[in-house]
A and B are shown apart, each in its own frame.
Chain A
C-alpha cells in the first residue's frame, strides 16, 4: 500500500484513471473542501472573499503542522497524545522572553525546536528504548508536560508579543498570502518529500505495516521509532511558535484549550492516515486540517451553535474511518455489519 504514494498521478488520463484518483483520500478531501466552499459561498455572500479564504487557511496552520507530526508518528503505528502541552510549553517558553526582552525571532525558532525535540525525545525514549506502549507513554507525558506547562507559567500569561512576531503570524509575505501559510506549506512539502523519497521515510511506512518484517529486513526499528517522536515533538514546538505569533497570546492552558491533541489526530484520520499504521501521508493531514478549519467557519457563517462543533468533528472522524475500507463500497459494508457472524474468523 505505501507504494501508492509514489504512483504517478497524471500519466495516462483515461476515465478509469480519473475514477481511480477519486479513490484517493486526498482527492476526496479536495472535493469535500470545494463542496463546502461552494455551498457556503452560495448561501453566504462574504464567504468567498479573499480575506476569508486566507483567514481559513492561516487559522489551520498550527493544527496542520501538529497534524503532520502526528501523521509521522501514526504511520509507524504509534500515537502522540502529548502534542498539546508540547505546543503550549513552546508557546510560553518563547512567549515570556519575547514579551519581556524582545527575544530575536530566529532564536525563538531555535528554542521552540529544542523544546519540542527535547520533550519528543523523552517520549521516544520511553516508547522505543524502554518499550512502553505509545498510548500509555504519551498519556503519562501528557499529564507530566501539562504540569510543567502550568509550573512554568506560574499564573502569568503572555499578552503582548513584539511586532516581528505579530507580523510573522498575521502579515502577508506576498499580497494575499500570509507568512504562516507559506510556512505551513513548506512543512507539509518537506514532510511529503521526507516520507516518500528518503530511506528513513520509507522505513516509517514499513514499520507501520509490519514492524517484525521491517526488523528482519534490517531496518533499525527502534531508532526510527525514536526519530518519529522527536520529529513530532519538534513540529509541535514549531506549531507553538506559529500559534503564539498568530493568536498573540499564550497561557497555562494554551494547546489544551483548543484541543490540539484530538484536532491533530482528527486531521490526520480525516486525511486518510489509519491508526493501524503504514497508510496515509502529510498531504492528507494538511487537507484535513484545512477542512476542519473551513467547516468551523462554515458553521459560524450558518449560525450553527458552536457547541455542535465537537459533534461535527466526531462525526467526521467516524465517516472518515467507515469510508476507509480500502475501497469497499458502502453497500458491502452494511451487509457485513448486519450479517450474523460466521464461525470462522473474519
Chain B
C-alpha cells in the first residue's frame, strides 16, 4: 500500500527510496495474499454447499459447472469493468450496453440478417458505445462517472426504442447452443468462452506493456504521462474493451434465455462492480490483480447460486452479496492498516483532492 508520490507531496518528504520500495513490495505481497484468500474462500464456500446443502450436492460436478451459465454474464462484464477501474475510471453504462447489444443482435436477425453477422454487428455497436464513453472521458476530460451515468440512460432508451414492444425471441438452434446453453462434455460453452477471455485479460494486465500502462495511469496519471504512456489512447482502449465485453455479456444472456429484452442488463452492473472490488482492485485504480477478479466472479456467482439452491429468495442472495462486499472491504482495510498505513491517513487520502496535482504538474 504505497502512496502515489504526487497525491500528498508534502506529507513525507523524508521517506527514503528504500522505504518506498519496501512499501511497494509489501503492497505486491498483500495483493497476492488477497488472491490466495479468495481462492481459499471459494474452496470453503463450495465445500460448505456440497456438505450442507443436499440439493447442491445432487447437482453433481457437471451440474455445478452448469451453474456458471447463471453468472458468467456478470463475470464477463466484470473483466471489462476491471480494465476501466484499474485506470481509476469507472463505467456505469455496461449494464445498459449489454441490453443494447442483445437487442441490436436480435433485431438485425429479425430483419433477415444471418445471426452470426448480427452478433458481430452488435459487438461493433457495443465497441462504438465504449468508444463514445472513452472519447467523452479523454477528449473532453469529463469525469467518467458522469459520462457513463449519462450514456447509461441513453443506451437503455435506444435499446427500448429499437426493441419495440415485443423484442425478438426464438433464435436459431446453433446460436442458442454456442452462445447460450450448449456444452462441451460437462463444460458449458459459455465457460469456455469466458475462460478464453479471462486468459487474454490476465495476460493483458499481467504480461503486457499496455496493461502495465493502464495500472500506472490509475496509480499516478502524471507519472504515467512522463513515463511515455499515451494516457488518452490507453484509456480509450480500456473503454472500448469494456463496452465490447458488456456486449459479449448481452449476447450470453440473450443466448441463455433464447430471447432479447431491453432490461436484461439492468441487474448486471452492480454485481459486476462488486466482483471487481471483491477481486481486490482498488476502486481508485492503480492496484489489484486480474486473477483476483476472475476468482471473485466465481466466488460471488457460486455464493449467489448456492443460496438460491438452498432456498433463499433472490433478494436475500443479493443482500448477502452486499454484506460480503462490506465485510471484505473492512478486512482489506484492516490488512492495509497492518501494512503500516494508518486509518487516519487512509481516510484523508480517500477524500483528498486526488487528481488536483495533475492540474499543475512539476
B292 to chain A, nearest CB (A): 15
Residues of chain B lying within 8 A (CB to CB) of residue A147: 315-316, 318-319, 322
Considering the chains assembled together, what is the distance between the CA atoms of A233 and B333 in angstroms?
25
Residue A202 CB within 8 A of the other chain? no
Residue B150 CB within 8 A of the other chain? yes
Q: A338 with B315: in contact, given A212-B8, A311-B158 (CB under 8 Å)?
A: no
Residue A309 CB within 8 A of the other chain? yes
Q: A317 with B150: in contact, given A150-B315, A151-B316, A212-B348 (CB under 8 Å)?
A: yes
* CB interface residues, B 84-123, toward A, < 8 Å: 90
Residue B61 CB within 8 A of the other chain? no
Q: A142 with B322: in contact, given A77-B351, A262-B153 (CB under 8 Å)?
A: yes
Considering the chains assembled together, what is the distance between the CA atoms of A196 and B147 in angstroms?
29
Residue B284 CB within 8 A of the other chain? yes
Which of A77, A143, A269, A333 is the one whose CB lies under 8 Å from B270? Answer: A143
B214 to chain A, nearest CB (A): 17
Residue B55 CB within 8 A of the other chain? no
B293 to chain A, nearest CB (A): 15
Q: Are B326 and A137 in contact (CB under 8 A)?
A: yes
Q: A345 with B225: in contact, given A143-B321, A147-B322, A222-B347 (CB under 8 Å)?
A: yes
Stretch at the interface among B136-144, B194-202, B245-253: B136-144
Q: Are A318 and B136 in contact (CB under 8 A)?
A: yes
A253 to chain B, nearest CB (A): 11
Residue A135 CB within 8 A of the other chain? yes
Binary CB contact string for chain B from 7 to 20 against chain A (1 if under 8 A, 0 otherwise): 01000000000000
Q: Are B157 and A314 in contact (CB under 8 A)?
A: yes
* CB interface residues, A 141-157, toward B, < 8 Å: 141-144, 146-148, 150-151
Residues of chain A lying within 8 A (CB to CB) of residue B156: 310-311
On chain B, the number of residues with a Cβ less than 8 Å from chain A's Cβ atoms is 60
Residue B25 CB within 8 A of the other chain? no
Residue A159 CB within 8 A of the other chain? no
Residues of chain B lying within 8 A (CB to CB) of residue A139: 270, 273-274, 322, 325
Considering the chains assembled together, what is the distance between the CA atoms of A32 and B90 in angstroms?
30
Q: Are A341 and B273 in contact (CB under 8 A)?
A: no
Stretch at the interface among B46-54, B73-81, B178-186, B353-361: B353-361
**Closest partner residue, chain A, to B353 (CB atom):** A210
Binary CB contact string for chain A from 327 to 346 against chain B (1 if under 8 A, 0 otherwise): 00000010011100101111
Residues of chain B lying within 8 A (CB to CB) of residue A207: 351
Considering the chains assembled together, what is the distance between the CA atoms of A22 and B8 in angstroms?
37
A95 to chain B, nearest CB (A): 19
Considering the chains assembled together, what is the distance between the CA atoms of A130 and B330 in angstroms?
7
Binary CB contact string for chain A from 188 to 221 against chain B (1 if under 8 A, 0 otherwise): 0000000000000000000101111001000001
Q: Are A131 and B350 in contact (CB under 8 A)?
A: yes
Considering the chains assembled together, what is the distance between the CA atoms of A145 and B316 in angstroms?
10
Residues of chain A lying within 8 A (CB to CB) of residue B316: 147, 151
A303 to chain B, nearest CB (A): 15
Q: Which residues on A are within 8 Å of B, measured CB to CB? A: 76-77, 79, 126, 128, 130-133, 135-137, 139-144, 146-148, 150-151, 207, 209-212, 215, 221-222, 225, 262, 265-266, 269, 275-276, 305, 307-318, 321-322, 333, 336-338, 341, 343-346
Q: Known pairs A137-B326, A262-B149, A345-B222. 5 more at Cβ < 8 A?
A: A131-B333, A225-B351, A305-B161, A311-B153, A345-B361
